[in-house]
A and B are shown apart, each in its own frame.
Chain A
């Protein structure tokens, strides 16, 4: 499944996460984000989760105040893409404990880390929720271990 990009944005159109799996310049990315966000925000709630946009298929779903939006290629299975999106939301939920938009705003780098443990190059690398969360946990531990001594030194003033 060649996912080209994934965007998360709020109902006011503010980007909360953007993951690009195809090489595009910053300007192009900005333009695509802006156009696509507008298109999706204009859609009514009763409409289906798929649309054709330029030469891509867009799969999107709203969870509370956040839109999760993926661009996939023509031959991809839209229904399983919805499942991918759902799995990502579940992971975020498990990690943050009842995740809400604010969690993602204030911990955006963690949201990226989780995504990067779930998808790689646009494809799912791990289909077990447990394994993804375990990997994140371990990596977080690794990070803390690296941080811990330094902050003690900082306190004493010996930086």
Chain B
């Protein structure tokens, strides 16, 4: 059997392979040879074979068949074998496989070997990959070695102990006695590893931490060691660019941080040394800055004097100006951590931080962005926003979403004026429109609605933006919503804030129709524009065009559009009298908690008064014609015209051609903010706009029903309930029944009440009252503040082809209905 080829030769051979396939072939051949060699239990060449296997493993080829061989090597007496064996174990074995446990005994023996280098191998392997079972078994040996006077072994034992503690935290206690005089060692290796061990123990256990603070007086010892390092002269063995053992200095500083945290005495004891390190360390090379960095982290974490904290922040400020981008990076990271606690100190470096937005490195830009947002306040908002918007323009796509959200938040918190706020939003939508989050569209609509005096300006600007670019969906959605709402302001040209533009109704409709047909528009956007077109039917004079558009989309393939168009069509045909009321202006929406991350608007600074006025009644644009009739009849002033708002109970309710007008604002499935409006007086009318009609929840109070009208075969009964949760609301359900032989079709019930009351009429169950009492039409009336109620009702229907109309007064309400 020829001797297996040497390692170096194999490496050389494999490297001559020109293709992956060639390499694979060589490796397979060699693996086969190695396998047979293993099978023959060849002791001489095992080491060589395993070494080759390790090389091939590094190239990515499987080597699991060598695992047991590594164990055999470890068990061998030869140092070479052990060296390769332990290396193989660390590379090929992992603690998930039971095979590794076979190592335990070997390691135990080697920990007690006469040669320190063998002991060293064992400690290294255990400290690198020892599983919890192995650590449990061997902790005692490690502890023994921790007390040896051999510094070569002592330092390794210390780090091995760290690993044991990480794997089996309960064993921490047993290492405590051995730590007693670790720090009195002169050997830097032992010192360094001891500090690591002490750090591990203090981090894991508050009891240990307290023990080391009080009983062992750790802080003074560490301070002394650190002082020696700084003050001592040049020591060639540990010198790095003029600094003595920076690794040890950094570890000590980190341990001091843990000891000083939340502890006044310890913090005081280390103040001086921290100041000394902070001022005396050379900053020309990375190594000095590494120490300064650790010092800053420590100063910020302990209870340091304010002078020291300012010193730390200034060091970070200097870091920001350093040419080395790594230094700038750590400075920004640290400032981000301290910006909450030391806000004013960090503010001083704001301009440098903003400059970092222009850095080439992605990580630095991200940190600078986060820090900039943290530093925005009422005083610097204008300047900061300019920089941030410029950043938004030019940054990578991965930043745009976060930056846009940040801009919105900051604008909301600190906007100096409404106009500025809206301009800022416009800017974000036009530059990063496709990256804004989904919930920003409803939030923005809410903001715009609430800025009443800016409506004309906003719609004009949005219109102009639409003319430029219709590809950014959030912008298009907000714009179409606004045009739908405020289109009348747009064509009337009454903008105060800037030069009003001349635009005709047809031009506006052109734009909206353009959105409907454009390939760039998402389905959601099309929905927005169709609804906007519909809304304009009450705001524009040329209704025919709108009717045409709406009827075309009644056969659209998109089901959502189709449904909308069909419903709008119905609105034109059968419910034209309801149309104006349905499509009137949106009222002010108060921001409730369910709106997500938006916060209360604080307009600080300039002109406009706060707009959110909950007493502001919803403006009625065009009262229903019939209400006018009733007004006349009831003699003028003490009657409030009925606003027949309809309830979107369930959007697809059978037979209920009712529109989910306010569903526009929640197309992405987010719970509709608009309906959950403040519960003050005016919004009483909108109370019922939750998806479940409230009257379903009411406990029926025992109020007797009454007959309100009975004539010509049409009988209308009233039944009463008290609304729950608002006991001042009486809920009346009318039941209309028809005792004639023919159906009464196109049945409409209307009611008017004196001004002191408020009335809401919900949708009827149907508009056909079946003949011969075969069924009833029901409709719900909600009355607020019922005292002695009186009501005028008007009924219209068609019977046997001829229309019938009647008026009646209802006075016989039972007393219980208002008490």
A84 contact set on B, CB distance < 8 A = 247
Task: Tell yes or no: A130 within 8 A of B by CB.
Answer: yes
CA distance A125 to B84 in the complex (A): 21
B window 1-46: CB within 8 A of A = 7-8, 11-12, 15, 44
A82 contact set on B, CB distance < 8 A = 286, 290, 326
Task: Tell yes or no: B129 within 8 A of A by CB.
Answer: yes
Contact A127–B248 (Cβ < 8 Å): yes
Task: Tell yes or no: B155 within 8 A of A by CB.
Answer: yes
Q: Min CB distance, A67 to chain B, in Å?
A: 15
Task: Tell yes or no: B124 within 8 A of A by CB.
Answer: yes
Contact B160–A121 (Cβ < 8 Å): yes
A117 contact set on B, CB distance < 8 A = 120
CA distance A113 to B287 in the complex (A): 26
Please judge, given known A-B contacts A116-B124, A146-B80, whether A121 and B159 are in contact too, CB under 8 Å.
yes
Please judge, given known A-B contacts A78-B326, A80-B250, A135-B152, whether A127 and B128 are in contact too, CB under 8 Å.
no
Contact A23–B155 (Cβ < 8 Å): no
Task: Tell yes or no: B163 within 8 A of A by CB.
Answer: yes
Task: Tell yes or no: A12 within 8 A of B by CB.
Answer: no
CA distance A25 to B160 in the complex (A): 22
- Residues 69-103 of chain A: 1 if any B CB is under 8 Å from the residue's CB, otherwise 0? 00000000111101110010000000000000000
CA distance A120 to B90 in the complex (A): 12
Contact A30–B78 (Cβ < 8 Å): no
Stretch of B185-193, B385-393, B464-472, B566-574 at the chain-chain interface: B185-193
Closest Cβ neighbor of B362 among chain A residues: A47
Contact B326–A77 (Cβ < 8 Å): no
Task: Tell yes or no: A15 within 8 A of B by CB.
Answer: yes
Consensus secondary structure, chain B interface: helix
A121 contact set on B, CB distance < 8 A = 127-128, 159-160, 162-163
Contact B131–A23 (Cβ < 8 Å): yes
Closest Cβ neighbor of B88 among chain A residues: A109
Contact B329–A128 (Cβ < 8 Å): no
CA distance A136 to B800 in the complex (A): 112
B window 209-257: CB within 8 A of A = 237-238, 240, 245-248, 250, 254
Q: Min CB distance, A4 to chain B, in Å?
A: 12
- Residues 24-56 of chain A: 1 if any B CB is under 8 Å from the residue's CB, otherwise 0? 111000100000000000001011111110000
Contact A120–B246 (Cβ < 8 Å): no
Contact B44–A159 (Cβ < 8 Å): yes
Contact A143–B155 (Cβ < 8 Å): no
Task: Tell yes or no: B123 within 8 A of A by CB.
Answer: yes
Q: Min CB distance, B401 to chain A, in Å?
A: 17
Q: Min CB distance, A87 to chain B, in Å?
A: 8
Task: Tell yes or no: B294 within 8 A of A by CB.
Answer: yes
Please pick, from B44, B95, B290, B361, the residue contacting A77 in the complex, using a CB distance under 8 A. B290
CA distance A94 to B151 in the complex (A): 23
Task: Tell yes or no: B455 within 8 A of A by CB.
Answer: no
CA distance A83 to B254 in the complex (A): 16
A30 contact set on B, CB distance < 8 A = 60
Contact A77–B250 (Cβ < 8 Å): yes
B129 contact set on A, CB distance < 8 A = 20, 23
B window 145-181: CB within 8 A of A = 152, 155-156, 159-160, 162-163
Task: Tell yes or no: B751 within 8 A of A by CB.
Answer: no
A49 contact set on B, CB distance < 8 A = 326
Please pick, from A79, A112, A159, the residue contacting B326 in the complex, using a CB distance under 8 A. A79
Contact B361–A48 (Cβ < 8 Å): yes
Task: Tell yes or no: B621 within 8 A of A by CB.
Answer: no
Task: Tell yes or no: B141 within 8 A of A by CB.
Answer: no
Task: Tell yes or no: B668 within 8 A of A by CB.
Answer: no
Contact B193–A47 (Cβ < 8 Å): no
CA distance A113 to B54 in the complex (A): 14
Please judge, given known A-B contacts A113-B83, A127-B247, whether A48 and B193 are in contact too, CB under 8 Å.
no
Contact A123–B193 (Cβ < 8 Å): yes
Contact B83–A143 (Cβ < 8 Å): yes
Q: Min CB distance, B60 to chain A, in Å?
A: 7
Q: Min CB distance, B511 to chain A, in Å?
A: 43
A50 contact set on B, CB distance < 8 A = 326, 329-330, 363
CA distance A82 to B142 in the complex (A): 30
Please judge, given known A-B contacts A26-B94, A109-B51, A146-B80, whether A130 and B237 are in contact too, CB under 8 Å.
yes
Contact B8–A106 (Cβ < 8 Å): yes
Q: Min CB distance, A89 to chain B, in Å?
A: 13
A44 contact set on B, CB distance < 8 A = 360
Please judge, given known A-B contacts A51-B363, A109-B51, A125-B192, whether A120 and B123 are in contact too, CB under 8 Å.
yes
A window 2-32: CB within 8 A of B = 14-21, 23-26, 30
CA distance A82 to B286 in the complex (A): 8
Contact A83–B58 (Cβ < 8 Å): no
B78 contact set on A, CB distance < 8 A = 146
Closest Cβ neighbor of B62 among chain A residues: A26
Please pick, from A26, A106, A127, the residue contacting B238 in the complex, using a CB distance under 8 A. A127
B15 contact set on A, CB distance < 8 A = 105
Task: Tell yes or no: B364 within 8 A of A by CB.
Answer: yes
CA distance A127 to B297 in the complex (A): 22
Please judge, given known A-B contacts A52-B363, A79-B286, whether A108 and B55 are in contact too, CB under 8 Å.
yes
Closest Cβ neighbor of A76 among chain B residues: B254
CA distance A51 to B91 in the complex (A): 26
Q: Min CB distance, A143 to chain B, in Å?
A: 5
Task: Tell yes or no: B115 within 8 A of A by CB.
Answer: yes
- A49, A125, A131, most chain B CB atoms within 10 A: A125
Task: Tell yes or no: A142 within 8 A of B by CB.
Answer: yes
Please pick, from B12, B245, B294, B328, the residue contacting A127 in the complex, using a CB distance under 8 A. B245
A21 contact set on B, CB distance < 8 A = 128
B328 contact set on A, CB distance < 8 A = 48
Contact B96–A23 (Cβ < 8 Å): yes
Q: Min CB distance, A58 to chain B, in Å?
A: 10
Please judge, given known A-B contacts A123-B162, A123-B193, whether A128 and B238 are in contact too, CB under 8 Å.
yes
CA distance A52 to B365 in the complex (A): 13
Closest Cβ neighbor of A131 among chain B residues: B189
B8 contact set on A, CB distance < 8 A = 106
Task: Tell yes or no: A124 within 8 A of B by CB.
Answer: yes
B115 contact set on A, CB distance < 8 A = 142
Contact B193–A125 (Cβ < 8 Å): yes
- Residues 340-375 of chain B: 1 if any A CB is under 8 Å from the residue's CB, otherwise 0? 000000000000000000001111100000000000
Task: Tell yes or no: B79 within 8 A of A by CB.
Answer: yes
Task: Tell yes or no: B813 within 8 A of A by CB.
Answer: no
Contact B79–A146 (Cβ < 8 Å): yes
Task: Tell yes or no: A155 within 8 A of B by CB.
Answer: no
A16 contact set on B, CB distance < 8 A = 58
Q: What are 17 contact pairs spanning A and B, CB under 8 A?
A: A18-B91, A23-B96, A48-B329, A77-B290, A80-B294, A83-B287, A87-B240, A108-B54, A109-B51, A112-B87, A120-B124, A123-B193, A123-B196, A124-B192, A127-B188, A139-B83, A143-B80
* Additional 8 contacts, C-beta under 8 A, given A46-B361, A80-B294, A127-B238: A15-B60, A26-B64, A46-B360, A117-B120, A121-B162, A123-B196, A128-B238, A142-B117
Interface residues of B (CB under 8 A from A): 7-8, 11-12, 15, 44, 51, 54-55, 58-60, 64, 78-80, 83-84, 87, 90-91, 94-96, 115, 117, 120, 123-124, 127-129, 131, 152, 155-156, 159-160, 162-163, 188-189, 192-193, 196, 237-238, 240, 245-248, 250, 254, 286-287, 289-290, 293-294, 297, 325-330, 360-364
Interchain residue pairs A-B with the least CB separation, the first 5: A79-B290, A48-B325, A121-B127, A126-B189, A120-B159
